[in-house]
Amino acid sequence: MLTIWGRLNSHNVKKVVWLADELGLSYRRHDVGGAFGMDDAYLAKNPNALIPTIEDGDVVLWESNAIVRYLAARHGGDALWPGDPVQRALADRWMDWQFSYAEAQRPAFVGLVRQSPEQRDADAIERATVACGRMMTILDAALSTQPWLSGDAFGLGDVPVGVYAHTFFALGLARAPVAHVADWYERLKARPGYAANVMIPLT
């Protein structure tokens, strides 16, 4: 059975748990990180002292996007991560783009979710909101020409950005309409694995 370590309020853990549900995998998840801490046994598996980490048989793996790619390739065949190099690359780029987006969004997330009103840096939240809005117009343009970030069908390209899109909408960071992103988000919300694991209260 697959084991996943990481608290579920982490964006990077959500990706893995959601994908495991998309693939219909049985798994056990253990809360690690943040207030749950990390013991020596965990740090021996992941010396970065970060979450998530998985163990699948004799495979121990960290780095959320690498885990997502591994699970899809090992347990999903070509369905979510096509073998065709062009199709794969066009989806993959959104997985890497997500790390830039996460950097842009972090000050707004930390300020609005993890800090008290007294601790908040309003300028940093404002700059982050503007930066997120700019990046979301890029996503919106892409989703105006294809239904999914992965192309014609849902796939891995939709997973990392999909997790952050929930935070974007839940925090009310959308100042200008991004209709195609909003439509894609509605379709993500209809996926049971997304509803169960990604759309949880932000903490």
Ligand X SMILES: N[C@@H](CCC(=O)N[C@@H](CS)C(=O)NCC(=O)O)C(=O)O
Nearer to ligand X, 42 or 151 (CB): 42
User: Rounded to the nearest 10 degrees, how much is the dihedral formed by the CA atoms of 12, 17, 22, 23?
Assistant: 110
Query: Residue 53 pairs with which residues in a beta bridge?
Result: 5, 62
Choices 8-16, 74-82, 108-116, 147-155 (CB under 6 A): range interacting with ligand X: 8-16
Check residue 46 for interaction with ligand X (CB under 6 A).
no
In the chain, what is the straight-line distance between the N-terminal and C-terminal CA atoms, in Å?
28
Check residue 197 for interaction with ligand X (CB under 6 A).
no
Angle at 49 between CA 14 and CA 196, to 5 degrees: 10
The residue with its CB nearest to ligand X is: 33
Nearer to ligand X, 51 or 104 (CB): 51
Angle at 171 between CA 165 and CA 174, to 5 degrees: 65
Backbone angles phi, psi at 27, to 5 degrees: -155, 160
**How many of the chain's residues bind ligand X (CB under 6 A)?**
11
Residue pointed to by tokens 């199709």:
87
How far is it, in rounded angstroms, from Cα 97 to Cα 192? Answer: 25
Minimal distance, residue 50 CB to ligand X, in Å: 3
In the DSSP assignment, the letter for residue 158 is G
Nearer to ligand X, 48 or 145 (CB): 48
Check residue 110 for interaction with ligand X (CB under 6 A).
no
Q: Is the dihedral of CA 143, 102, 19, 190 positive or negative?
A: negative
Minimal distance, residue 183 CB to ligand X, in Å: 27
Check residue 34 for interaction with ligand X (CB under 6 A).
yes
- Pick from 5, 10, 68, 167 the residue near ligand X by CB under 6 A: 10
- Pick from 4, 64, 91, 125 the residue near ligand X by CB under 6 A: 64
The residues of the shown chain that bind ligand X, judged by CB under 6 A, are 10-12, 33-34, 50-52, 63-65
